[in-house]
Structure 1
Amino acid sequence: MVVNQNQNTHVLMVSAALQGHLNPLLKFATCLISKGILVTIATTELGRHRMLKHAAVAANPSIKLEFFSDGLDVEFDRESNYDHWLETLRTKGRENFSNLTTELSQHTKFSCLILHQFVPWFIPVAKEHNIPCAVLWIQPCALYSIYYRFFNKLNDFSILQNPNQPLELPGHPLMELQDLPSFILPNIHLCFQKLLSEFFTYLLDVKWVLGTSFEELEEEVLEVMAGDGVRPMITTVGPLVSGFLLGKKEESGVSVDMWKADESCLKWLDGKELGSVVYVSFGSIIVLGQQQVENIAMGLLKSGKAFLWVFKRTAGSAVELPTGFLDAVGERGLVVNWCSQEQVLKHKAVGCFLTHCGWNSTLETVVTGVPVIAFPEWTDQPTNAKLLTDVFKMGVRLRKRDDGIVSSEEVERCIREITEGPAAEAMAKRAAELKEAAKKAVENGGSSHRHLEKFVSDIVG
C-alpha cells in the first residue's frame, strides 16, 4: 500500500551500468516506490546507450533516470580493461556524479543516497552533500562477513598462503580455497581488492547496510555477526526479486534490460513436461572458451534431458556451438541469446538450473524453488556455490579438471545427479522449503518486511 505522506521523501541511487549491479537497485527502488517514496537512479552514459538501443526503459512517475559520464567513451571495452575503467570511474566518474548531485539537489532534497559496494568512491559524495548514506549489499550476507573479517584483519586467512589448510570462520561452513571469493585471492583481481578495501574504509560514513538476502536463508552467519558486534550490521530486506515470483501484484517499476530477451523460449517451455527442462545460463558477463562450450554442449546432448541454453554471443568472440549440435538435439533443446530469466525459472517445465551462481541468479532460483548445478567462475560465485550446496543444500557443484575446464562427462553426471540421483528428492524438497521461507520473509510481519519498514521510517523521519 502506498503511503501518501512519504511522497515528499526522495532517494538517490547510483551504480555503474552493469546489469547485475543495476538489477538489485531497481528491485529495491520498486519496494520503496510501494511505500510512496520517490526514486532517482543515476548510472553511467553506457546505461543510457544500451537501454535506448533496446527501448527497454519503462516510465514510472515515481522513478527518474539520470546519467553521468564515467570518463570514457561508450565504445571503450570496459570488460577487458577493468583496471583503467575502475580508476577512471573513481576519479572522473566520482567528479561527474558529484556535479550531477549538485545539479539535482537544486530542486530536490534527497533523504538518502543508496549505492552498492562496487562504487565506494561515491560514499564521500553523500557526505559532501550532507545526504545520509545507505549501502545495498548486492551479495550474500556471508560475503559481507568474509570481506569484513578479511579487510579488518580479524581472522586468520593463512589459507591464501597455504591452500591445503581449510579456512574456519565463525558462522561459515569449513571452506577450501575453491570456495573463497576470488577478490581476496593473492595476485589476481587486485583492482577489485583495492576497491573493496576502500569500501571498508569508507564504511564509517555509512548509516545503513541493507542486504538483498533474507534472514531465514543465512540465519547462522547473521547471528554470529550480530554477536561479534559487526558495525554497521547488515540488515536483510530481501529477497530482492520481482514481486510476481513472491506471489505479489507487480508494482510498475522501471526496466533496464541491456539485452533484448527472446520471448519464444516461454512458448517452447509450454510444450515441455513438468520439471523436465535443464535451464542453462551464465549471466551477463562471463564468456566461456571454445573447449568449455563444447563440453557443456556434449554433456547436455549425452544427458538425454531437454534444455534451454542462454548462449550470449558477444562482439568479437569466435566461440561457437559445436558443428551439428543443434541438429543432433532437435526439438529437445533450444538455444537463445538472452531471456527473461525470472519468467523462465518460474515456468513449471524447468526442473534445474545450471548456473554461474551470481547472487541475483541465486536469489531467483531460491525464490522459485529450482535446484541448481553450480558452475562458479569468479568474484562471489565460488562462495555462493558453497552456500547452495552445503548450507542451502539445494544443489550440486561441477568439478573442474586441473586445467580449469569441466568435462562433458562431469556435466552429464551432475545433470543426472540433480534430476534422478539418490539425493535429488531431498534437494528438491529443500528448495521448496526455502521458496516458502522467502515468501514469508516479505509478507506483513516477516523479517524483511519489518526491516524495510524500519528503514523507511528512518529516512522519512
Structure 2
Amino acid sequence: MYRDPPTLSWPFSSLLISSVWIPMAAMEAEKEEIHVLMVSFSAQGHINPLLQLGKRLISKGLHVTLATTELVRHRMLQSSSSAISAGAGIQLAFFSDGFSLDYDRGSNIDHFMDTFGAAGPVNLSALIAGRKFSCIICNPFVPWVADVAAEHGIPCAMLWIQPAMLFAIYYRFYNNLNPFPTSENHSMTVELPGIPVLKTEDLPSFVLPSNPFGSFQKLLAGLFQNMNKMKWVLCNSFYELEKDAVDSMSEINPIRPIGPLVPPAILGEDQDNDVGIEMWKSEDRCIEWLNRQPPSSVIYISFGSLFVLSEKQMGSIATALKNIKRPFLWVVKPPDGPKKSGDHGQPPLGFSEETKGQGLIVAWSPQTKVLLHPSIGCFLSHCGWNSTLEAFANGVPVIAFPQWTDQPTNAKLIADVLRVGVRLRPNQEDGLVSHKEVERCIEEVMSGPGSEEFKKNAAELKVAAREAVANGGSSDRNIQLFVDEIIANCVVER
C-alpha cells in the first residue's frame, strides 16, 4: 500500500486540414476503423476516469482498448469484480510492470516507479506491435507512453486526472515560470495567473522542498518539460468549475476540460451503462443501513484506496464521532498482507461495539451508490480528485482532510474558492487533527451558520456538472472536437 513519508470547443460538420475541406460523410466512413488505446497506471483512481472517457469515445463511434498492468487483472479477479459491463464495449489488455504479483509495490515507491519506467515501455511496445491504433491516451504517471507512441508513429494525448488548477501549478513550477517555496523560504505565498493566492499548506506536496519522493519529482519534471510530446491535453474537470485556471493556460499549453468523468448515475444518466473497476470488494450492506437513516443525516467517511492514517489520528476521528452522536458510515480498508505488530489505519479496539447503534464500519463501499443516497449529509474525505468530483456532481458538502500530492490544493478549491465545505486544520505541535477540530467541522457543515451556503453551492455545482457533459455542453463539445481531430488526422495520413 502506498503511504506518505515513512512517518507516516465546438463540433464541426467538416474540418479544414491543410486548406482541404474534408466532408463529414468521409469522416464517418473513416471513423469505423479508428481504434484508440488508453494506457493507465495501476491505480483504481487512475483507471476509472479513462474508462469513463473510453465510454464517451465509443458513444462518438470510436473503438477503445484500455491497457494497464497485470496487477490490476489479479486484483480484479480477487475482488470478483466484473470490470466492465457487457454493453460498454471497451476491450482490456494487460502488460507487466516488471515485478511479480506478490511484490509489495508500496515498500519502496521510488524503486517501483523507476523499475516500472524501465520495464513498462518495453512491455507496452510489445503489446502494441502488429495492432493498428489511431491515437494513444495516457495519464500523467505513465508519461513514457508518449515515447512508445512516437516509436510506433501514433499521436499521443494525455488525460490529466487532477484539476486544471494543478496542471497550471505544475507547468509553471517545472518550467521555472514563477517563484515557489524553497528550503530557505518555505513559507512564501504563491501568486499565479487564474489561481487564488496559495499558501504552503495549499500547494501540492510534490512542489515543496520537503517532498521525499525523488521518482515523482523526476517523472513530473520530465512530463512538464516535454509537453510537446502530447498532441492533446484533456482534463477531468469542467470549464464552468475552473474557468480562470483553464483560461490562464490557453496561451501557454492549452488544456481541454472534458469531465467530470464520473459514473453515469451521478450525472442522471443510465446507470446500466456504467463502466469501471473495483479492485476491492464492496460491502453492499451499507446501502441497507443507509436506507434506515434520516435524510441528510449521515457523515460519510472515506480516505481512498492508498492513504493510511496513524493510530492516533484514527483515535481522534473515532472520539469525535462518539461525541457528536450523529450517524456515520466509515470506510476503513484493512491493511494489505498479513497484519504486523504496530499496524495502524484501524479504529481503536472496541469502537465498533461502542457505536453499534450509531454507525457502520465497512472495509470498502460502493461509493457511487453511497453519495447518491438521500441520507448522506456530508463527506469527510482525503480530497482525491475522483472523490471530490463525485461529491461535486452529487451536490454533497465536503469536510476536507488532505494528506499529500494534489489533495491540499483540492481542499483549497473546496473550502475557499467554491465554498462547498470546510477544511480540517492540524495542530502545529504534532501535525494531528484533534477530535475537537473534527467535531467543530462536522457541526459547521451539518448545522452551523454556513451550512445552508455549503448546501446551496454544492447543489449549483451538481447542476453545472450535468450541463457540462450533456449533449452540446462544454465538456461534450470538447470531446467531440477531440474525436473530430483524431478522425481528420487519420484522413490526412491516408
TM-score bracket for this pair, using the shorter chain length: over 0.9
3-state secondary structure, aligned to 2:117:
helix
User: 1:357 is matched with which residue: 376, 383, 392?
Assistant: 383
Partner of 1:248: 269
Q: Residues of 1 paired with 2:28 and 2:80: CA distance?
A: 31
**Conservation of the 8 A alpha-carbon contact between 2:377 and 2:396:** yes
Establish whether residue 301 from structure 1 lines up as the match of residue 322 from structure 2. Answer: yes
Cα deviation, 1:307-343, whole Å, max 9, x if unaligned, reads 0000001134533322221222122100000011111
**Conservation of the 8 A alpha-carbon contact between 2:88 and 2:273:** no
Establish whether residue 195 from structure 1 lines up as the match of residue 219 from structure 2. Answer: yes
Establish whether residue 170 from structure 1 lines up as the match of residue 170 from structure 2. Answer: no
Q: How far 1:253 moved relative to its partner?
A: 5.3
3-state secondary structure, aligned to 2:433:
coil
User: 2:471 is matched with which residue: 430, 444, 451?
Assistant: 444
Please tell me the residue identity of whatever aligns with 2:200. Answer: L
User: 1:25 is matched with which residue: 41, 45, 50?
Assistant: 50
TM (norm. structure 2) is 0.89
Please tell me the residue identity of whatever aligns with 1:85. Answer: F
3-state secondary structure, aligned to 1:284:
coil
Q: Residues of 2 paired with 1:109 and 1:291: CA distance?
A: 53
Partner of 2:140: 117
Instruction: Report 1 or 2 for greater relative contact order, CA contacts < 8 Å, sequence distance ≥ 6.
Output: 2
User: 1:310 is matched with which residue: 331, 341, 348?
Assistant: 331
Partner of 1:459: 486
Please tell me the residue identity of whatever aligns with 1:230. Answer: I
**Conservation of the 8 A alpha-carbon contact between 2:39 and 2:67:** yes
Label 1:90 to 1:182 Cα distance change in 2 as closer, same or farther (>3 A). Answer: same
Q: Residues of 2 paired with 1:189 and 1:440: CA distance?
A: 39
Please tell me the residue identity of whatever aligns with 2:135. Answer: C
Q: Residues of 2 paired with 1:178 and 1:373: CA distance?
A: 16
3-state secondary structure, aligned to 1:445:
coil
Label 1:206 to 1:295 Cα distance change in 2 as closer, same or farther (>3 A). Answer: same
Q: Residues of 1 paired with 2:321 and 2:32: CA distance?
A: 51
**Conservation of the 8 A alpha-carbon contact between 1:173 and 1:390:** no
Report how many aligned residue pairs link the two structures: 452
Q: Residues of 1 paired with 2:248 and 2:353: CA distance?
A: 53
**Conservation of the 8 A alpha-carbon contact between 2:264 and 2:274:** no
Q: Residues of 2 paired with 1:255 and 1:445: CA distance?
A: 25
Partner of 1:44: 69
3-state secondary structure, aligned to 1:98:
helix
**Conservation of the 8 A alpha-carbon contact between 1:45 and 1:67:** yes
Establish whether residue 416 from structure 1 lines up as the match of residue 443 from structure 2. Answer: yes
Q: Residues of 2 paired with 1:13 and 1:176: CA distance?
A: 36
Label 1:332 to 1:158 Cα distance change in 2 as closer, same or farther (>3 A). Answer: closer
CA RMSD in angstroms comes to: 1.5
3-state secondary structure, aligned to 1:223:
helix
Partner of 1:209: 233
Q: How far 1:446 moved relative to its partner?
A: 1.0
Is 161-170 or 391-400 further displaced after alignment? 161-170
Establish whether residue 396 from structure 1 lines up as the match of residue 422 from structure 2. Answer: yes
3-state secondary structure, aligned to 1:415:
helix
3-state secondary structure, aligned to 2:36:
strand
3-state secondary structure, aligned to 1:261:
coil
Partner of 1:144: 167
Q: How far 1:60 moved relative to its partner?
A: 4.7
**Conservation of the 8 A alpha-carbon contact between 2:264 and 2:273:** no
Partner of 1:76: 103
Q: Residues of 2 paired with 1:428 and 1:208: CA distance?
A: 36
3-state secondary structure, aligned to 2:240:
helix
3-state secondary structure, aligned to 2:360:
strand
Runs of 4+ off more than 3 Å: 3-7, 58-61, 158-161, 250-255
**Conservation of the 8 A alpha-carbon contact between 1:160 and 1:177:** no
3-state secondary structure, aligned to 2:357:
helix
Q: Residues of 2 paired with 1:285 and 1:158: CA distance?
A: 27
Establish whether residue 219 from structure 1 lines up as the match of residue 246 from structure 2. Answer: no
Cα deviation, 1:137-161, whole Å, max 9, x if unaligned, reads 0000000000010011111114663
Q: Which runs of 5+ in 2 are unaligned?
A: 1-26, 489-494
Cα deviation, 1:387-441, whole Å, max 9, x if unaligned, reads 1111111010001112121111111111001111111110110000111011111
| Percent identity of equivalent pairs | 50
Establish whether residue 280 from structure 1 lines up as the match of residue 327 from structure 2. Answer: no
Q: Residues of 2 paired with 1:312 and 1:80: CA distance?
A: 18
Partner of 1:346: 372
Q: How far 1:115 moved relative to its partner?
A: 0.5
Cα deviation, 1:201-229, whole Å, max 9, x if unaligned, reads 33111111000100000011112222xx1
Please tell me the residue identity of whatever aligns with 1:368. Answer: N
Cα deviation, 1:265-306, whole Å, max 9, x if unaligned, reads 011101111100000000000011111111111111111111
Q: How far 1:4 moved relative to its partner?
A: 7.8
Q: Residues of 1 paired with 2:403 and 2:454: CA distance?
A: 23
**Which structure 2 residues correspond to residues 374-393 of structure 1 after superposition, within 5 A?**
374-393=400-419
Partner of 1:269: 290
Q: Residues of 2 paired with 1:383 and 1:303: CA distance?
A: 28
Cα deviation, 1:173-228, whole Å, max 9, x if unaligned, reads 111111110011114222111110111133111111000100000011112222xx
Please tell me the residue identity of whatever aligns with 2:195. Answer: H
The structure with the largest helix share of the pair is 1
3-state secondary structure, aligned to 1:42:
strand
TM (norm. structure 1) is 0.95
Q: How far 1:254 moved relative to its partner?
A: 4.2
Partner of 1:96: 123
**Conservation of the 8 A alpha-carbon contact between 2:55 and 2:88:** no
Q: Residues of 2 paired with 1:115 and 1:164: CA distance?
A: 34
Please tell me the residue identity of whatever aligns with 1:250. Answer: Q
Partner of 1:325: 351
Is 209-218 or 14-23 further displaced after alignment? 14-23
3-state secondary structure, aligned to 1:416:
helix
Q: Which runs of 5+ in 1 are unaligned?
A: none
Q: How far 1:252 moved relative to its partner?
A: 3.3
Partner of 2:6: none
Partner of 1:335: 361
Partner of 2:12: none
Please tell me the residue identity of whatever aligns with 2:301. Answer: V
Cα deviation, 1:227-259, whole Å, max 9, x if unaligned, reads xx112x100000100111111123635432100
**Conservation of the 8 A alpha-carbon contact between 1:159 and 1:177:** no
**Which structure 2 residues correspond to residues 48-63 of structure 1 after superposition, within 5 A?**
48-56=73-81, 57-58=83-84, 59-60=86-87, 62-63=89-90
